[in-house]
Structure 1
Amino acid sequence: MSPAQTNNALPSEQQEKPRIVILISGSGSNMVAIADAVAKGDIDAEVAAVISNKPEAAGIQKAKDRDIETQIVNHKDFANREDFDMALMQQIDEYQPDLVVLAGFMRILTPAFVINYHGRMLNIHPSLLPKYQGLDTHQRALDAGDEQHGVTVHFVTEELDGGPNVIQAIVPIYDGDDATSLQQRVHTQEHIIYPIAVKWFVSGRLSMKGNSALFDNTELPASGLPLTNQ
């Protein structure tokens, strides 16, 4: 019998799909966008679990409604950030994810946590990074008199909102905008670009090398790809 005939590899259609674990703290709208793209077959992967640090997070029920396994790791049950992150890592790793997605997960992660998922953890941030790292991005863009604002998907590194950018969507700032109206337009774009970035990663087109994001093995610009180029 030839080596090819003794190969125990499964046919591609029988191989396990890439596994995604999504972390949320609130409504889970980006989680829903990704999970629904998976359900429709737009993303060839499996959402293995949705995990929240808040028992009351509305996104938990939305995940259950989609027959996705859910877990709660309540940060209030731990004395410090390090203990919480260790427990969260243990919970995540039970699902052996290929990708960890932060979808409105409102926790600053310890270096040990970030290093554990180096190159396989994505976050979405409501600004055109590197502008406006941190909180209150919509009001900060308005206060600065910016003409445009937007949202960025990026790899997670030890620097808060500082990992290499993957994809950005730009929204104009109109006269009369306030933080709420601007946030609503940004949210619409979030639900478009996050599934795109996840699809790129699980299909092998997106990776991280050093402090750069690579798309089809080509280093992306510092801003990432614009939505129009996807």
Structure 2
Amino acid sequence: MKVAILASGNGTNFEILAKKFESNELAGKLALLFCDHPDAPVVKRAEKYQVPVRTFTVKECGGKLPYEERIMKILKEFQIDFIVLAGYLRVIGPTILQNYEGKIVNLHPAYLPEYPGLHSIERAFADHRKQTGVTVHFVDDGLDSGPIIRQEHVPILSTDTVETLEQRVHECEHRLYPQVIKEILPKFTKKEQN
């Protein structure tokens, strides 16, 4: 079982998962990081764990379709079986979805279906909600609309700032995402063996 992580930014979730793959706490091998921002900090994190990195932008490819086709070539080249999104800030299009249906998971910093899309933490905070959350879900062709695997609420405290709330949401992500991936990857490993 070869796993690719797709990410766009800082890469804290990537690093936690990379450590777990390295220590064999997660089934399979972390075989690739793809990043759509060549200068993102996640690239350095991947190099630290000696995970192969491929990075390019939609603009370099001349549009979304050629961009996704180029990603697909890389996924095939690395013989990727399963995709984990960790702060990947692009919608997965049909080119990749058709080839990895039911084999892509995403982590979203909200209690879906509340606040799909970008800036979920800020939006929940601005709406003066009592709680937000974290959701791990399979990816489908909608915006954060795929089947939910697991969710947890994160309270929004009266003393919170956006920054303190964001920190607690990330703490929840860092705990929840590896747990869920640890549970689901062996199911896909068994499917690959059959």
Report the TM-score when normalising by structure 1: 0.78
Q: Structure 1 residue runs of 4+, over 6 Å off?
A: none
Cα deviations across residues 39-98 of structure 1 (Å, max 9, x unaligned)? Answer: 222112210011111110111111111111111132220221111111111111211122
- Give the unaligned 5+ runs of structure 2: 190-194
Deviation at 1:115, TM superposition (A): 2.2
> Hey, which of these two has a bigger chunk of helix by percent?
2
**Aligned twin of 1:120:** 103
Name the Cα RMSD after superposition: 1.7
Higher Cα radius of gyration: 1
Cα deviations across residues 6-63 of structure 1 (Å, max 9, x unaligned)? Answer: xxxxxxxxxxxx2110111111111111111112221122100111111101111111
Equivalent runs, 1:200-211 vs 2, <5 Å:
200-204=183-187
SS of the equivalent of 1:55 reads coil
**Aligned twin of 1:67:** 50
Matched, 1:163 2:154: no
Equivalent runs, 1:190-205 vs 2, <5 Å:
190-204=173-187
For residues 72 and 141 of structure 1, the distance between their equivalents in structure 2, rounded to whole angstroms, comes to 32
Deviation at 1:110, TM superposition (A): 1.8
Deviation at 1:137, TM superposition (A): 1.1
Equivalent runs, 1:69-218 vs 2, <5 Å:
69-204=52-187
SS of the equivalent of 1:185 reads helix
Larger CA deviation: 81-90 vs 69-78? 69-78
**Aligned twin of 1:47:** 30
Letter of the 1:163 partner, please give it: G
Judged with a 3 Å threshold, the aligned counterparts in structure 2 of structure 1 residues 196 and 139 are, in CA distance, closer, same or farther, namely same
- Contact in 1 for aligned 2:72/2:95 (Cα 8 Å): no
For residues 73 and 91 of structure 1, the distance between their equivalents in structure 2, rounded to whole angstroms, comes to 12
Letter of the 1:44 partner, please give it: A
SS of the equivalent of 1:203 reads helix
SS of the equivalent of 2:187 reads coil
